[in-house]
Structure 1
Amino acid sequence: MRWILFLPMVALCTTACAGGTLRAADTLATAGRRDPAQLLQDADTDHDGKITRAELSQARDRMFSRLDRNGDGYLTQDDFQRQLLSRRAGAGSNGGDRFASMKAVMDKDGDGRVGRDEFVNGPARLFDRADTNHDGTVDATELAALRAAPHAGP
């Protein structure tokens, strides 16, 4: 169950990037075999059909706690390797590659690891792409439009 949640949330968090890194994030979303719009929908904790930035941040905070395997307050390559060792990795899975993609986007202080604040409050490109009216909320119409949009692959 954790592995199923692990890949999609990393994809949600790493969609915060632009250009090539965005394509890497889209690859992560595909690897998780989840609809990127579903990742946003899952963040709707009050189930009102709208996803706010606050709900997205709360979802990221919960995921950070699950990903930080050693509880030191930072995500490192070791946390991702532990995740892979605790679950049987699929073909082509590489925790180092996933961490490198995430670190490129979220490690704002350049210390080689991603702190809780960097993870929770990092850029949210998928949310921004879905929020077409720029009101800070993704509603059902915007979620449907995101689902209907062509996949932005490499």
Structure 2
Amino acid sequence: MATALMMSALGALALTSGIALAAGQPHDMGDHPMGDLTRAQAIAMANGHFDRMDVNKDGKLDRADREAMHARMAAEMFDRADANHDGMISRDEWNAGAAKLAEMREHGGPGMHGRPMMRHMGMMADADGDRAITREEFQKRALEHFDRVDANHDGTISAAEREQAHAAMREHSERK
């Protein structure tokens, strides 16, 4: 159960803390700024992700938040599969969803990589081992990753630093 909490929490932490930062995407990444990224922006992004995931607004990411996120995700998945929005998933709708999932897996679509790494990062984010991640723990982990990507330690991640980190991550995942 703790692992599922950590995976849920760190899906967003991964985006915040550097996996997405390291991606070097030239296009707008939603709340991820284009170009250089400062420490202050990374903290603001981490806080935004934390706020969205802290469903019950109690200042920590725990089992209750995980269950609420899973319920929301299940409802969203059902809505996507129910193409005609009749409240039922037909065999054709089911098969279309299965085909889409198979295509994502084949092409390495979102969420198909990095799950073991996110699980490991989640356990590291829970610094006190209480199976809940506080805002401070969340920020700390995000900034630790930021600092690793910020190779010249100037407080800003440049496109070159993102590409360097992305290449290192690709090399690491290819060795596994």
Q: Same fold (TM over 0.5)?
A: yes
* 1:145 alignment counterpart: 164
The structure with the largest alpha-carbon Rg is 2
SS at match of 2:42: helix
* 1:79 alignment counterpart: 65
Distance in 2, matches of 1:78 and 1:102, equals 20
Residues 86 and 123 (structure 1), Cα distance of their counterparts in 2 relative to 1, 3 Å cut = closer
Verify: 1:115 aligned to 2:134, yes or no.
Answer: yes
1:50 Cα offset (Å) = 1.2
Q: Is the 8 A contact 2:10 2:118 kept in 1?
A: no
Structure 2 unaligned segments of length 5 or more: list them: 1-8, 78-100, 106-110
Among 25, 30, 39, the residue aligned to 1:53: 39
Runs (4 or more) in structure 1 with deviation over 6 Å come to 89-93
1:123 Cα offset (Å) = 5.0
Residue deviations 1:71-129, cap 9 Å, x none?
Answer: 11110123122212211367999xxx999645411122332211112112335454233
Structure 1 unaligned segments of length 5 or more: list them: 1-5, 16-28
Aligned length in residues: 126
Q: Is the 8 A contact 1:77 1:99 kept in 2?
A: no
The structure where helix makes up a greater share of residues is 2
RMSD, aligned CA: 3.7
Distance in 2, matches of 1:98 and 1:53, equals 23
* 1:127 alignment counterpart: 146
Which of 1 and 2 has higher RCO (CA within 8 Å, sep 6+)?
2
